[in-house]
């Protein structure tokens, strides 16, 4: 039954106008609405969101809960959730359609290939919310050097990266990566954001997994980085 539901979501998400997908990582081709190709490189704002508002990515967005929450509170900012899991994206994309959130949309692709689909310095900010910490696989962590190199090309000069996680190892790894990476400035780091008044109001949004982590007594950590 679960597999049938997942296949149904895969099929349905292909018709969603707020989702574009890359099916073959070796080919930089995006598909939209029942296998129609679309080229959005350098034109995400004008052609996909139909405006010139700032563009913020949520990487490894899962169900897109953070993009949805931010989109509800900031209607004049475009949010693009990025993930490879089609069934998860379906949930966020359907919620955005049902709520009429035209500023929240989704890209299904491997994050390793993301530079294929954006012009340099096309993105204003990046959020990474509760990503897989990849214990034992440091090079796959979304704050490893190879990913920071990608973000430098994606982001506008002085663009911001946000990391929100419950994982101690990923948090410490990220701080180490930033401190030894020549092109970053650490703006803020907190290993227990809810222990005191939140410095940034956008941190108050909680995803399904974050609520689970909090229920287990885990501390939520946050890192704010500016790329030079």
Name the catalytic one among 39, 47, 132, 149: 132
* Residue 218 DSSP symbol: P
CA dist., res. 84 & res. 107, Å (int): 8
Give the C-alpha distances (Å, rounded to integers) separating 55 from 33, 91, 145, 219: 22, 21, 23, 29
Query: For residue 157, how many other CB atoms are within 10 A of its CB?
Result: 9
Please confirm, yes or no, whether 124 is among the known catalytic residues.
Answer: no
Beta strand segments in 14-154, E: 19-21, 30-32, 36-38, 55-59, 78-83, 104-108, 123-129
Q: Just list the catalytic residues.
A: 132
């Amino acid at each position: 039954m679960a597999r049938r539901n997942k296949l149904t979501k895969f099929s349905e998400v292909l018709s969603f106008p707020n989702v574009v997908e890359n099916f073959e990582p070796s080919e930089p081709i995006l598909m939209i609405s029942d296998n129609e190709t679309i080229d959005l490189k350098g034109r995400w704002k004008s052609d996909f969101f139909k405006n010139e508002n700032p563009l913020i990515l949520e990487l490894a967005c899962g169900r897109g809960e953070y993009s949805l929450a931010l989109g509800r509170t900031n209607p004049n900012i475009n949010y693009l959730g990025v993930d490879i899991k089609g069934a998860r994206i379906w949930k966020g994309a359907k919620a955005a359609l049902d709520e009429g959130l035209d500023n929240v949309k989704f890209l299904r692709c491997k994050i390793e290939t993301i530079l294929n689909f954006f012009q340099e310095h096309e993105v204003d900010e990046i959020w990474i919310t509760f990503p897989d910490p990849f214990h034992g696989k440091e090079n796959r962590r979304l704050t490893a050097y190879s990913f920071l190199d990608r973000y430098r090309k994606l982001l506008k000069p002085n663009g911001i990266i946000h990391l929100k996680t419950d994982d101690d190892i990923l948090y410490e790894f990220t701080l180490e990566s930033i401190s030894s990476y020549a092109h970053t400035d650490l703006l803020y780091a907190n290993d227990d954001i809810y222990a005191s008044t939140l410095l940034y109001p956008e941190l108050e949004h909680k995803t399904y997994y974050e609520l689970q982590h909090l229920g287990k007594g885990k501390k939520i950590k946050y890192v704010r980085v500016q790329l030079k």
